[in-house]
């Protein structure tokens, strides 16, 4: 009996120690909140906060199509269920009108809500933790100035155990550490500004870094590319010339891509088109250049020579060539040469030959639309073919494009097209 009681006591003690450690890890770096508001808002602070909110692309997640700006309610699909964005307007009952700037800072920096509950990292606080208190205060001042909306916050729809605070606490203990922006002393002020924007408010690694089975990213794999489960697009590596690296580009061309969505070497589509439309086109020239300088300085992946690719079956190439001639050649050319300023070339296009064909399939299915920007106000677009072409035809034409005019990449199967349709409910 004594042995049993001793065993139970030991287990309880171990659990107590584990719980205390878990609580400690989830409170590290936090300080008591001040009792009253200390921030003095000014028009200049609000204006700065509006700019920073655009840099962070806050509206994209916190606004539903046709809904009030920042009123929340947008469902963000994750492998663990759906997280709904919250109301950020100054409504006191349902928004953040009763919050203080310190509580907002705690959410940004520590991922903890006004009521003390841990927030889900679909809100990218693992990146926003790098944002300075001054910038957080400016964003808060701006959000307090937008029209209030009484939209109720929608409950998340996450599966057990991911819907529990305990599971979230374990995740944070394993994968989240509050941080502060640290300038590289050997780098220029421009580089450090770019690093701050890319890694903090810009949260570029949230998409362009692979995630593990629990949805966490790793600094060791930052910018190496990853599938975006929320939207089922592949975010290509930003540190690899054969994917989306820009190290060899002219800096002005990188700036043009960020601000207009178009550069001589390529253009943006899919989720990145929304980022440019809602966010990066509004960057100041200095900030856009700083981001470009930082992205060009990323340590590059070693690019191994691709393994030889077996030629696709002649039947698939013949069928794909026929579809291409009927549906694609008028814009992209008989030789995949495209039309400068209007339609992109497919020959030698690294977006076409990515090892993961997801993006190419998605463009064929749902169309490709450049963002309308001040520098490119009336962009050309590509119509969707999801109702026109069968899965077999989509597989054939993408296989054809990936293996013509000097392109070489694995063929695309109907199962990959089916998965692309399935994840979007097509």
Tens-digit pLDDT profile for residues 171-214: 999 999 998 888 999 999 999 999 999 999 999 999 999 999 99
Same domain, 289 and 326: no
Query: How is residue 245 written in tokens?
Result: 């690296």
Residue 308 lies in a domain: no
> Residue 357 and residue 402: Cα distance in Å, rounded?
9
Residue 309 lies in a domain: no
Cα separations (Å) of 266 from 128, 257, 353?
29, 8, 14
pLDDT of residue 91: 97
- What's the maximum distance between 2 C-alpha atoms anywhere in the chain? 85
pLDDT of residue 94: 96
Q: Are 398 and 332 in contact (CB under 8 A)?
A: no
Rounded to two decimals, the pTM is 0.90
Same domain, 171 and 55: yes
Same domain, 156 and 198: no
Query: How is residue 138 written in tokens?
Result: 């400016």
Mean pLDDT of 378-400: 94
Same domain, 288 and 323: no
The owner of tokens 């820009």 is 246
With cut-offs at 50, 70 and 90, classify the pLDDT of residue 340: confident
The owner of tokens 């039309």 is 339
Mean pLDDT of 50-76: 95
Please write the tens of the pLDDT for every residue from 32-44: 888 788 899 999 9
Q: Which of 148, 175, 202 lies at the terminal end of a domain, its last residue?
A: 175
Residue 277 lies in a domain: yes
pLDDT of residue 181: 84
Cα separations (Å) of 147 from 80, 151, 296, 380?
33, 12, 39, 34
DSSP state of 147: P
Same domain, 363 and 396: yes
Residue 216 lies in a domain: yes
Cα separations (Å) of 101 from 45, 108, 117, 262?
13, 10, 17, 38
Mean pLDDT across the chain: 91
Mean pLDDT of 388-403: 96
Which helix (H) or strand (E) is 77 found in, with range?
A: strand 75-78
> Residue 258 and residue 274: Cα distance in Å, rounded?
11
Same domain, 263 and 343: no
Same domain, 266 and 384: no
Mean pLDDT of 130-153: 97
Q: Which of 239, 350, 221, 220 is nearest to 297 (CA)?
A: 239
Q: Which of 123, 145, 175 lies at the terminal end of a domain, its last residue?
A: 175
Residue 6 lies in a domain: no
11-25, 139-153, 295-309, 375-389: which range is least confident on average? 11-25
pLDDT of residue 420: 79
Same domain, 243 and 169: no
7: cis peptide before it, omega within 30°? no
> Residue 124 and residue 199: Cα distance in Å, rounded?
11
Same domain, 126 and 38: yes
DSSP state of 339: B
Residue 151 lies in a domain: yes
Same domain, 168 and 194: no
CATH at residue 350: 1.10.760.10
Residue 235: domain span: 189-296
Q: Is the pLDDT of residue 424 over 70?
A: no
Residue 221 lies in a domain: yes
pLDDT of residue 18: 58
Q: Are 50 and 142 in contact (CB under 8 A)?
A: yes
Q: Is the pLDDT of residue 9 over 60?
A: no
Query: How is residue 109 written in tokens?
Result: 């920096």
Q: Is the pLDDT of residue 425 over 50?
A: no
% of the chain surpassing 90 pLDDT: 78
Same domain, 212 and 343: no
Please write the tens of the pLDDT for every residue from 204-260: 999 999 999 999 999 999 999 988 866 788 999 999 999 999 999 999 999 999 999
Q: Which of 124, 145, 175 lies at the terminal end of a domain, its last residue?
A: 175
Q: Is the pLDDT of residue 23 over 80?
A: no
C-alpha count within 13 angstroms, C-beta hemisphere, residue 367: 10
Question: What is the full DSSP assignment across 168-185?
Answer: HHHHHHHH---------T
Q: Is the pLDDT of residue 155 over 70?
A: yes
Residue 401 lies in a domain: yes
Angle at which helix 165-175 crosses helix 2-27, to 10 degrees, equals 70
With cut-offs at 50, 70 and 90, classify the pLDDT of residue 151: very high
Cα separations (Å) of 282 from 260, 261, 275?
10, 12, 10
Q: Is the pLDDT of residue 28 over 80?
A: no
Q: Specify the number of domains making up the chain.
A: 3
Same domain, 144 and 219: no
Q: Are strands 233-235 and 262-263 parallel, antiparallel or unpaired?
A: unpaired
């Amino acid at each position: 009996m004594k042995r049993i009681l001793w065993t139970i006591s030991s287990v309880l003690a171990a659990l107590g120690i584990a719980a205390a450690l878990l609580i400690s890890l989830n409170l590290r770096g936090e300080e008591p909140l001040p009792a009253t508001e200390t921030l003095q808002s000014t028009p200049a602070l609000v204006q700065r906060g509006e700019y920073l909110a655009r840099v962070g692309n806050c509206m994209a997640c916190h606004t539903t199509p046709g809904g009030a700006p920042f009123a929340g309610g947008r469902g963000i699909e994750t492998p663990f269920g759906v997280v709904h964005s919250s109301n950020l307007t100054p409504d006191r009952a349902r928004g953040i009108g009763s919050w203080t700037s310190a509580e907002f800072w705690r959410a940004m920096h520590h991922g903890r809500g006004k009521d003390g509950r841990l927030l889900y990292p679909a809100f990218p606080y693992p990146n926003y933790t790098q944002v300075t208190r001054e910038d957080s205060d400016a964003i808060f001042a701006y959000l307090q100035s937008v029209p209030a909306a009484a939209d109720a916050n929608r409950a998340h729809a996450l599966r057990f155990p991911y819907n529990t605070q305990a599971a979230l606490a374990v995740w944070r203990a394993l994968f989240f550490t509050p941080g502060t922006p640290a300038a590289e002393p050997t780098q220029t002020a421009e580089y450090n500004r770019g690093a701050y924007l890319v890694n903090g408010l810009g949260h570029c690694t949230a998409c362009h870094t692979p995630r593990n089975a629990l949805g966490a990213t790793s600094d060791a794999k930052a910018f190496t590319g990853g599938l975006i489960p929320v939207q089922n697009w592949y975010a290509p590596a930003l540190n690899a010339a054969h994917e989306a690296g820009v190290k060899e580009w002219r800096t002005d061309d990188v700036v043009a891509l960020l601000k207009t969505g178009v550069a001589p070497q390529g253009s943006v589509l899919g989720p990145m088109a929304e980022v440019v439309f809602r966010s990066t086109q509004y960057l100041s020239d200095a900030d856009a250049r700083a981001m470009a300088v930082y992205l060009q300085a990323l340590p590059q992946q070693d690019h191994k020579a691709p393994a030889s690719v077996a030629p696709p079956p002649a039947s698939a190439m013949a069928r794909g060539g026929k579809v291409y001639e009927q549906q694609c050649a008028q814009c992209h050319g008989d030789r995949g040469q495209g039309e400068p300023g209007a339609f992109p070339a497919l020959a030698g296009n690294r977006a076409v030959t990515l090892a993961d064909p997801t993006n190419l399939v998605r463009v064929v299915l749902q169309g490709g639309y450049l963002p309308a920007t001040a520098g490119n106000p009336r962009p050309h677009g590509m119509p969707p073919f999801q109702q026109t072409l069968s899965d077999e035809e989509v597989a054939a034409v993408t296989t054809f494009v990936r293996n013509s005019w000097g392109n070489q990449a694995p063929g695309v199967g109907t199962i990959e097209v089916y998965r692309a349709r399935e994840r979007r409910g097509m």
